[in-house]
Amino acid sequence: MPTNRPPDNSAQPRPQAYAWVIWIVAALFYSYEFFLRISPTVMVDDLMRSFHVSAETLGSLSAMYYYAYAIMQIPVGILLDRYGPRRLLTFAATMVALGSYLFATTNTLGIAEFGRVLMGIGSAFAFVGCLKLSAAWFPAKRFALVVGLTNMLGVIGAINGEAPLAYVVGQLGWRYTMHAAAIIGIALTILNLLIIRDAPYQQQISPREPLFPSNQELVSGIKKILRSKQTWLAACFGGLLVAPIAGFAELWSVPFLMQSYALTKPEAAGLSSVVFIGIAIGGPLNGQFSSWLGQRKLIMMIGAIGALFSLLAVIYVRLPSELLISVLLFCLGFFSSSMLLAFVVNCELHSKRISGVVIGFTNMLVMLGGTIFQPLIGFLLDENWQGKLTQGAHVFSLHDYHIALSLLPACQLLGIICVMFIRETYCCRVGEAVN
């Protein structure tokens, strides 16, 4: 049975120093799950051959991660608010390691899909858990910056899941690579258990209120979140800006760039990883800029417009050099990182005690981009496929990609419309903004 009795942590280190240690461990887990999330993008041909599947089926296999991840977000938020991040992040890392092992060892599509589901379930705790810990351990004025830094460390995992992973897969094969990923998951399980603490010791012994909210408080908070139009708008904005990242950079960018510019897989993966460099740099900068300006909405609008024009140029303009491609892919990532302000805005609209549910709800809508668009793009590619094969893998024309990827700029345009109706919070402290 859960209890609000504070644990005996008399030897708890000073919060000022230990907050960053805890954040690093939690953010490393997020970086690890991000690496696994996008890993199929450099294994497209290998997975098609290994499981004898079409583009649509491969998109569905990859999206199993997103299905589990998205469905779990609100339950994850409730569990984190009710029981704390330490035990749950330890459990989550174990699930991801197990899913990686199953994915690496099976020859059966169904078991591979189950492995991706386990990865998605475990990964669902990573970002929400890290931000939950950040809300507990850091002052409110630093929260937007820490959200950006968290995402930066996460996308470092994504960068490693592009060109470096493509090289390793080329040398060792995708199965041995996924075995190594499972071992890393076990190491992170141990780190989470040994280092993470739910809150500073001063909060754990406070007689004024229990560490974790009651069931009644959680139910009331969930109702408030679901009834808030502003919360829905901010979360939808985040999801619409992430859809091109999930649908393009996390799966179909490498084969698109290979077809469009006659690049090798490592070259295309290297270019694609520039998107995540842009996200890594843009996340903390956009968060800090918005705090300096005292406005969230302006940065969100600039980000949505910049991401739209960057993506349109990458997909539909024949660019003359790899340098220009890199610049535009960087801009796509940099501007798209403004979606992180959706989490900040929604946390500013609700009490810190239900921050897990707020972040989980927002992340659920954000992750729907991958859930919907990876298989949908695969379906559209298959619909226009002319039957060309290379070593058992489907080969699509540039025209096929132009049609299938046209969904993504439309998402960014809808994101711009969402921002128009979002109410400015003026960077109020968490729990002080009025719905």
Query: Which structural domains are found in the chain, ordered by start?
Result: 15-421 (1.20.1250.20)
Q: What percent of the chain is modeled with pLDDT above 70?
A: 90
How many CB atoms are located within 10 Å of the residue 413 CB? 13
Q: Is the pLDDT of residue 35 over 70?
A: yes
Q: What is the mean pLDDT of residues 143-172?
A: 83
* Angstrom distance (rounded) from CA 429 to CA 154: 25
* Angstrom distance (rounded) from CA 134 to CA 142: 9
* Polymer length of the chain: 435
Q: What is the mean pLDDT of residues 26-43?
A: 88
Residue 238 is predicted with a pLDDT of 94
- Cα angle vertex 303, ends 298, 304, to 5°? 100
Q: What is the mean pLDDT of residues 8-18?
A: 55
DSSP assigned state of 125: T
Angle, helices 126-137 vs 143-160, to 10°: value is 150
Tokens of 56: 């649509």
How many CB atoms are located within 10 Å of the residue 172 CB? 13
Query: In this predicted model, what pLDDT tens digit does every residue of 333-344 receive, in sequence order?
Result: 999 999 999 999
Residue 11 is predicted with a pLDDT of 44
- Of the two residues 41 and 191, the one the predictor is more confident about is 191
Average pLDDT along the chain: 85
Residue among 156, 137, 277 nearest 200 (CA):
137
Q: What is the mean pLDDT of residues 194-206?
A: 69
Query: In this predicted model, what pLDDT tens digit does every residue of 108-136 receive, in sequence order?
Result: 888 999 999 999 999 999 999 998 898 88
Q: What is the mean pLDDT of residues 403-423?
A: 94
Give the bridge partners for 393, in sequence order. 390
Residue among 352, 6, 356, 340 nearest 150 (CA):
340
Q: Is the pLDDT of residue 360 over 80?
A: yes
Tokens of 301: 């609008």
pTM: 0.74
Q: Is the pLDDT of residue 195 over 80?
A: yes
How many CB atoms are located within 10 Å of the residue 396 CB? 22
Query: In this predicted model, what pLDDT tens digit does every residue of 159-182 receive, in sequence order?
Result: 787 778 888 888 888 898 899 999
Residue 98 is predicted with a pLDDT of 96
Query: In this predicted model, what pLDDT tens digit does every residue of 255-269 receive, in sequence order?
Result: 899 888 888 888 888
Q: What is the mean pLDDT of residues 226-237?
A: 94
Whether the Cβ atoms of residue 244 and residue 332 lie closer than 8 Å to each other = yes
The contacts of residue 18 (CB under 8 Å, 6+ apart) are 12, 137, 197, 200
Q: Is the pLDDT of residue 389 over 70?
A: no
Which of 210-219, 224-233, 397-406 comes out lowest in average pLDDT? 210-219
Residue 257 amino acid letter: L
Give the bridge partners for 389, in sequence order. 394
Q: Is the pLDDT of residue 29 over 50?
A: yes
The DSSP H or E segment spanning 394 is strand 393-394
Q: 389 — phi, psi (to 5°)?
A: -125, 145
Q: What is the mean pLDDT of residues 218-235?
A: 90
Q: Is the pLDDT of residue 387 over 80?
A: no
319 Rama sector, left if φ>0, alpha if ψ -120 to 50, beta otherwise: beta
Q: Are strands 389-390 and 393-394 parallel, antiparallel or unpaired?
A: antiparallel
Query: In this predicted model, what pLDDT tens digit does every residue of 39-89 receive, in sequence order?
Result: 887 787 888 888 888 877 887 888 888 888 888 988 998 899 888 899 999
3-class SS of residue 435: coil
Whether the Cβ atoms of residue 117 and residue 137 lie closer than 8 Å to each other = no
Residue 32 is predicted with a pLDDT of 92
